[in-house]
Homo-oligomer: A and B are copies of this chain.
Amino acid sequence: MTMTAYRTHHCGELNMNFVGKEVTLIGWIQKNRIMGGMIFIDLRDRYGITQLVFNHEVNAALAEKAEKLGREWIIQVTGTVMERYSKNPNIPTGDIEIMVNQLQVINQSKIPPFTIEDQTDGGDELRIKYRYLDLRRNKVKNNLIFRNNVGLAVRNYLQSVGFLEIETPFLIKSTPEGARDFIVPSRIHPGEFYALPQSPQTFKQLLMVSGFDRYFQIVRCFRDEDLRADRQPEFTQIDCEMSFVSQEDILTTFEGLVKHIFAQIKQIEIGPIPRMTYQDAMNLYGSDKPDIRFGMQFVNLTPYLQHRDFSIFNQAEWIGGIVVPGAANYTRKQLDNITEFVRRPQIGASGMVYIMCQPEGTFKSSVDKFYNQEDLQEVAKQSNANAGDLILILSGKKEQTQKQLGELRLEMGNRLELRKAGDYKPLWVVDFPLLEWDEETARFYAKHHPFTAPKPEHIELLQTDPGAVNANAYDLVINGTEIGGGSIRIHDTQLQSQMFKVLGFTEEEAQAQFGFLLDAFQYGAPPHGGIAFGFDRLCAVLSDTDSIRDFIAFPKNNAARDTMIQAPARVSEEQLNELSITIQEREA
């Protein structure tokens, strides 16, 4: 399919089967080596690299021309496929080379600002500014091909089980709930604005009201957040919704999707995906997205450590430990280093207690002053720690301490190399709380979003004890990263109004913002629910990396700027006048 006016073959396909054949190739010069009377050129295209040969003895004029070519020039060559003297087993075309008899320079190139190699000399900033050159590097190129393949697998699976891809609008209405919207001034309606969607949430629910049953969309979403290292103002979501389903139906359906992706993309068979309640996740891992590639589950040690004179533990709401296998021989320095880790401001623990379970059956701890060997033995027993293991203990307010211990657990997982690349452990976290109390604004916020249904048996609690209400909400976690989340939605006007009330919306506000949805619910809304996956994040996790940016063709930097095209930028006064807006003067 690649034969076009400019070539008969691409640079990744020729091998011994083609020896003796005349071919025409076109591509970029990766490398240019002059060895005696020979010039060797590595010619690169999307598909691979093929070695070209020019020989002064065979064609001096052509060889001289070849000597003058530079890196990243585009040349078109015609020549004969020959077996190589010294073969390169690392590339598919490594057995052959092309003895060139015609050469045409198609386009020249300035010397690139960084080397187009797997290991480049270009820093992040330079590479993002010249992203079109960075995309020539195998790693970045392969990431985008990978993303294409994941998208294809997702679409094929969802279509095969009856989901329809339906596009929802991008120019919608701003809603104050949740993250900040990007807004778009309307020229035709001065003083009014569209907003870019943070997700197609309400539209996909309307599609359920319409009867579309199984909807999906791979769709761009927008959030004007204060940027963190790995956030992008625009990101892509695999957005799905189903009608006439229970939570179980949704988990089963999307377990199928996850299995399909792993089978298609990674050639890995994933077994049944385990499920864990939010409460268990917090109590055992201190995180709602536990990495279950390794153990080190928390042990609640509160009952076993508050009977002595150690006031720090006695004052603690919760004391928890993890058992680090085989680490009883850690040096003072190693232990100090771990203590330093938990004391970092990002973690925020004030200190750490350790107990070494020594091979000879005795115990050594940082609190030997307060606890005797029997005390420590009891802790070891409760923790299922064996001789040779190290127990690390944090204490304090329960929730906070669990989070800190969760961070410590991950850190120890890293140090012991228990978080293995290529090992994928998906997990459903279920039974999330419906609401989150915010101290600062003294109100409840939706943990998921305002459309999430409380568990039917908790609906009454909504009036008496909203904080105790659980939701039919679930997250898909892979290796400690949240890949997706969703819920069963409210499909009843009354319940939805009640939910808005709990969230502090007046009736007028609810009507102004979501009147169309409340209206829609009055015309026969089906029970429904759904899920959305972060597509960028999914690609990153499947590739064992943290950086979503590597999977976005043209990402923005940490200041939400595209340094390649230089956006955002000033626009003309004329444009602003047409839109009836003015830029506010700032004080110097």
Interface residues of A (CB under 8 A from B): 1-2, 4-7, 26, 28, 44-47, 72-74, 106-110, 112, 130-133, 135-136, 141, 144-145, 147-148, 151-152, 155, 159, 161-162, 164-174, 176, 180-196, 202-203, 206-207, 209-213, 220, 222, 224, 226-227, 233-234, 236, 242, 244-246, 248-249, 491-492, 515-516, 520, 522-527, 552-554, 556, 559-562, 564-572, 575, 577-584, 586
Contacts and interface: CB of A to CB of B under 8 A. Distances in A.
A26 B528 CA distance: 13
B187 A180 contact: yes
A196 B106 CA distance: 34
A331 B349 CA distance: 97
A47 B243 CA distance: 13
A109 B520 CA distance: 9
Contact of A584 (B190, B222, B575): B190
A224 B155 CA distance: 31
Contact of A135 (B133, B210, B222, B554): B210
Contacts of A564: 516
A12 to B, nearest CB: 11
Contacts of A135: 207, 210-212
9 contacts: A6-B527, A72-B523, A74-B526, A106-B527, A169-B554, A176-B572, A180-B575, A188-B227, A193-B568
A161 B248 CA distance: 39
A553 B203 contact: yes
A100 to B, nearest CB: 17
Count identical subunits in the complex: 2
A584 B586 contact: no
A20 to B, nearest CB: 24
A161 B2 CA distance: 8
Contacts of A192: 568-570
Given A2-B162, A72-B524, A183-B184, A210 B136 contact: yes
Contact of A6 (B73, B173, B245, B575): B245
A559 B188 contact: yes
Given A132-B520, A524-B108, A586-B190, A171 B565 contact: no
Given A107-B524, A187-B180, A5 B584 contact: no
Contacts of A191: 570, 583
